[in-house]
Homo-oligomer: A and B are copies of this chain.
Amino acid sequence: MKIKLSLSVSALLLSFSVTAQTDDSAAIRKIVNDIMNNAKAYDNLRYLCKKIGPRLSGSSNAQKAVEATARMLKEAGADTVYLQPCMVPHWIRGEKETGYVQLAGAAKHPLKLCALGNSYGTGKKGVSAAVVEVNNMKQLDELGLANVLKGKIVFLNFAMNQTYIEVFNAYGESGVARWGAPTVCAKYGAVAAMVRSLSINPDDYPHTGVTSYNDSFPKIPAVAISTNDADWLSSQLKRKMKLTAFLQTNCQMLPDAPSFNVVGEIKGSEFASEIITVGGHLDSWDLAEGAQDDGAGVVQSIEVIRAIRASGIKPKRTIHAVMFMNEENGGRGGSKYLELAKKNKEQHLFALETDAGGFTPRGFALQMNDQQFEKVLRWKPLFYQYGVYNFSRGGAGADVGHLYELGTALAGLAPDTQRYFDIHHAATDVFENVSRRELHLGAANMAALIYLVDKYGL
């Protein structure tokens, strides 16, 4: 199968002539113009943010979002809309968290904090202990092995590196403080972990996100504090101030809950068995509206369906727009999509994920074999006029990533990221922080790539 596909790809490569480029340029211009003039993505996002709001897996809002996007996909012109049932983790924050720092002989300094996703609560009485600051994983191990962390609250102050121009690189580097370090703190006997928010800017908002436990160690409470609080706390510790912190969180993990992926389909006219997927994730953190993360990706994916219909294109291959459930704290929707693809022996040619915000698109991260990569590179000039020029190898995304196992070629929309970590997982990720044109321009470039993959295969 693989070899046959590769041969046909080679033949198509040879036929991608200048004439084709001209025709494709005109076809893409038509799609782009339709989206820039008539897109429904921004209005759909408003609905998702303002009429529904936060959509954490297992919540009633997540269910409302399932129903709303199923309707939007129908309105966009999908032939069929169906749900893929999947069980999801059901974590709840409970009553709002509290916490403070107590300096010897001074007033309490209240902390702007929130429990990390999937973390265990402290219970009503909370936890109180001396604070030890740690700045990286190496130091965490050193202090842990020196028995310094036992009985302490560990302050994981891994500041994001401002000098990384691609902000996801800073997130990748410092993010371990949130997703990996708390359980290491537990290993060394700490009573709680207090993580500097993964915000690239000084601000007053705690940024949540998932943490994880290792069953060999105690499941200690874990919170994020705002970057301004982190800077203040670090300055106090540098001055050798004697201090303790108090944290009280009320979150808990309930039994798994039933939920769904939402799939909107346009049946292919020639190669209906070959599936092209475009998707974002429907769930969001509970602190905000999940506007950029990933309401934007959801409505952009629906927009691709609408634009294909409105432009009068009849796809040769079958197009799936997928609203994945539970990307934030479990990835169950992505797993389920793969599981069903295997069970139903589906042939997944290509999958495009959009989960880096609806900012001005600048390129695509491509996760595919060399031949496919070369082929996509030939299309690059078609995107220049839309400000998209950065076609490079990289991870496509957490949801479509599951399909890699099937040999599916993957891509991720790569927008400008300068503003993403201002609002990521925080109360500021609201509709007002999404630009209509940036959102639509992203959808337009996604639709253009889907058009090319559908026409030429991959």
Contacts and interface: CB of A to CB of B under 8 A. Distances in A.
Given A165-B386, A165-B387, A201-B437, A418 B360 contact: yes
Interface in A29-62: 32-33, 36-37
Contact of A33 (B163, B167, B385, B389): B163
A267 interface: no
B419 A437 contact: yes
* Interface size class of chain A, counting residues whose CB lies under 8 Å from the partner chain: 20 to 34
A386 B166 CA distance: 9
Contacts of A437: 162, 167, 200-201, 418-419, 422
Kindly report how many copies of this chain are found in the complex they form together: 2
A141 interface: no
Contacts of A438: 418-419
Interface in A125-169: 162-163, 165, 167
A170 to B, nearest CB: 10
Contact of A418 (B37, B163, B422, B441): B441
Contacts of A178: none
A37 B163 contact: yes
A64 interface: no
A309 interface: no
A362 interface: yes
A418 B360 CA distance: 7
A15 interface: no
Interface in A64-117: none
Interface of A: 32-33, 36-37, 162-163, 165, 167, 200-201, 360, 362, 385-387, 389, 416, 418-419, 422, 435-438, 441
8 contacts: A33-B163, A165-B385, A167-B437, A360-B360, A360-B416, A418-B437, A419-B435, A419-B437
A-B pairs, top 4 by smallest CB distance, nearest first, are A418-B437, A36-B162, A33-B163, A418-B438
Given A37-B162, A387-B416, 6 more contacts: A32-B165, A37-B163, A162-B437, A389-B389, A422-B435, A422-B437
